[in-house]
Amino acid sequence: MADVVSPEKRSAMMSGIRGKDTKPEIIVRRLLHRLGYRFRLHRRDLPGRPDIVLPKWRTVILVNGCYWHGHEDCHLFRAPKTRTEFWTNKIEGNQARDRRNHAALRDTGWKVIVIWECAVSKKLSLSAEQLEDAISAALTSSETLIDIRG
């Protein structure tokens, strides 16, 4: 099936997608701030430049977009029907980079919390209270890699 917009328009649309300060990320930051947590954003000295860094807790929070990070079994992720090979390679590359960054962070003593877009999307798979509970539990957990899904 052909794309419904021209290649130039599609390129403009795709280049407009931000990597930082996304709506899901801002939702999580507001929630953390309301809960009294203090954090830093996008620290360049850490592998992968994590979205949110809680130095006091030695924890990083990554807010992943379900499409860009290939969130399996998620209503927000659907494999593209055009340029399938390109997009499959792109998403698999993103996943491999994520695994490397998670391992590097954990090897240096950081706890990694991954919050998926579907957990904080408009249809809020998790309520604000559930998300608060999940984050609080993750911060006090002894696990080093925690996945919060919608």
Q: Residue 25 corresponds to which tokens in the numbers above?
A: 């990320």
Distances (CA, A) of 43 to 48, 55, 102, 124, 145: 9, 10, 15, 28, 19
Within a domain: 4? no
Backbone φ, ψ for residue 66 (5° rounding): -60, -40
Q: How far, in Å, are 68, 97, 104, 139 from residue 29 at the CA level?
A: 20, 23, 23, 15
pLDDT at site 141: 87
Residue 109 φ/ψ region, left for φ over 0, alpha for ψ in the -120 to 50 degree band, beta for the rest: left
2 within domain boundaries: no
Domain with 42, as residue range(s), is 18-148
Looking up residue 51, the CATH number of its domain turns out to be: 3.40.960.10
Q: Give the pLDDT score at 81.
A: 83
Letter string b/e over residues 37-62, b meaning 16 or more CB atoms within 10 A of that residue's CB:
bebeeebeebbbbbbbbbeebebbbb
- pTM metric for this prediction: 0.84
Whether 45 is in a domain gets the answer yes
Looking at the domain assignment, is residue 77 inside a domain?
A: yes
**∠ CA 15-48-22, rounded to 5°:** 45
Compute mean pLDDT per 10 residues along the chain, 150 residues long, and list them. 72 70 89 92 95 94 90 85 88 95 95 90 70 85 84
Residue 13 located in a structural domain = no
